[in-house]
Amino acid sequence: MSRKNFQTAKRVVIKIGSSLLTAGGQGLNKPAIRAWVAQMAALRQQGIEVVLVSSGAVAEGMVRLGLKQRPKTLHELQAAAAVGQMGLVRVFENKFQQHDLHAAQILLTHDDLTNRQRYLNARSTLLTLLEFGVIPVINENDTVATDEIRFGDNDTLGALVANLVEADLLILLTDQTGLFDSDPSLNPQAKLIESASVNDSLLDEVAGESRSGLGRGGMFTKVRAARLASRSGAATVIVAGAIENVITGVMAGENLGTYLIPNIAPIAARKQWLAGQLQIKGRLILDDGAVKVLTEHGKSLLAVGVKTVEGRFERGDLVSCFDGKGIEIARGLVNYSAAECLKIAGKASSEFEGILGYADDDELIHRDNMVVIV
C-alpha cells in the first residue's frame, strides 16, 4: 500500500502516546484530544472503522495524585493507572458524544491475547463494536498487569490490536516528527526518514529510547510495533500528533512522518497470533540443517535438528528457535517439556519411546503451530 492508497483503507488503528495525551505531564490535553476525536469522527463519516489505543492512564493518575516522577513500584503504578483511567474514559466519552459517536473501553493484558480462546473472544468483541459503529478505546490493564503479563508499551499493544482486527493501517502518534537517520537532538543535520521497508536494518541503528519519562516507548518500540503489524499486512506511519489535522492528513495520503512499508506477505491469522506472543518460555538452538528445513521448506521441527535446549517450559508452551548465530528463526508451541527436550535433542523420532518410555508426537513443533519470522 502506498501513501496515496491510504484513502482506500477500511480499518485503522490509532495509538496516541502518553506525552501527547497529558501535555507533557501537565494533565490531560483536552484541546488536543478534542481535535483528534474530531478527525476520527471524520474518518467514521467516510466509512472508515477506527480503533483507538490510548496511553496516558499512569501519567494522568500521576497528575491527579500530585506525583512528580513516574512510580517505580508495581503497586504504585497500578494505583496511578486506576486513578488516571477514570479521567481518560470520561474525556474520550464526552468528546466522542459531541460527534454522536459511542466509545467503548477495553482493557487488555498480554495474558488476554496469549490464551487462544480469549484472543478470539477479544477479536469477536472488537469486530462487533466496529459493526455497531462504536469507537473502541483500548488501553493496557495496568491495574492488574504484572511484569510477566504486560505488553511493555502501548506501541506493541497497538500493533497486536492491528493484527487482531486485521487493520489496513497503524498510525502511531508521538511527540516526534517521525524517525530520523540520526538523533536530531544531537545532530542538527539529521534527516527525516520519509519511508522505508519495515525490515530495513537501518531502522535498528537509528531507533532510540523514550526520553519523555512518561511512557515506556521510544522509536525502538515503534519500529518493533511496525514489524508486528506488518505480519497481518498493516502499514505503519510514525508521525507527530501535534501536527494540525494529522490523522486526516495521513489518511489523505499527505507526506507526513515516517511510512514503514509492510513488504512481506501477510501470514495466516493463527500464525499472526503466534508471532505476536511476547511470553517466550524457552529457546531451542538448531543446527544448520534444521534451519534450512524450517526457512526454505516450511516443514515441522524435529528433535534431531536441536543442539541446545534452554529455559523451563511445558508441553504447549511457546518457545523460540534460533540458529547458531543467535538469530531467531521461528517460534511455536512445543510438544514436549524442557526436561523431555533435553533428553531427545539430537535424536530421531523413532528413539523417543526408548528414551522417554513413550512417544506422544514425532515432531518437536508441528508446522501448523509454528511461525517462521525471518
User: What angle (nearest 5°) sits at the alpha carbon of residue 49, between those of residues 46 and 55?
Assistant: 120
pLDDT the model gives residue 214: 41
Q: In terms of Cα–Cα distance, which of 206, 209, 218, 202 is closest to 182?
A: 206
CB 319 within 8 A of CB 284: yes
pLDDT the model gives residue 25: 63
Measured CA to CA, the distance from residue 90 to residue 50 in angstroms comes to 19
pLDDT the model gives residue 121: 87
Question: How far is residue 113 from each of residues 20, 149, 160, 334, measured CA to CA in Å?
Answer: 27, 10, 9, 18
The residues that bridge with 236 in the sheet, in sequence order, are 170, 260
Measured CA to CA, the distance from residue 335 to residue 318 in angstroms comes to 10
In this chain, the answer to whether the domains covering 3-271 and 280-372 adopt an identical fold is no
DSSP 223: H
pLDDT the model gives residue 306: 97
Mean pLDDT for back-to-back runs of 10 residues, the chain (374 residues): 83 92 79 96 96 88 87 85 89 96 90 76 92 94 52 80 92 92 83 91 72 54 89 92 96 95 74 75 96 92 96 90 94 93 96 92 90 83
Q: How many CA atoms lie within 13 A of 7 on its CB side?
A: 6
Question: How far is residue 125 from each of residues 139, 250, 300, measured CA to CA in Å?
Answer: 15, 27, 33
Residue ranges per structural domain of the chain? 3-271, 280-372
pLDDT the model gives residue 119: 81
* CATH number, span 280-372: 2.30.130.10
CB 290 within 8 A of CB 365: no
pTM: predicted TM-score of the whole model, two decimal places? 0.76
Domain 3-271 superfamily per CATH: Acetylglutamate kinase-like (3.40.1160.10)
pLDDT the model gives residue 216: 41
Exposure string of 1-12, with b = 16+ CB inside 10 Å and e = fewer, is eebeebeebebb
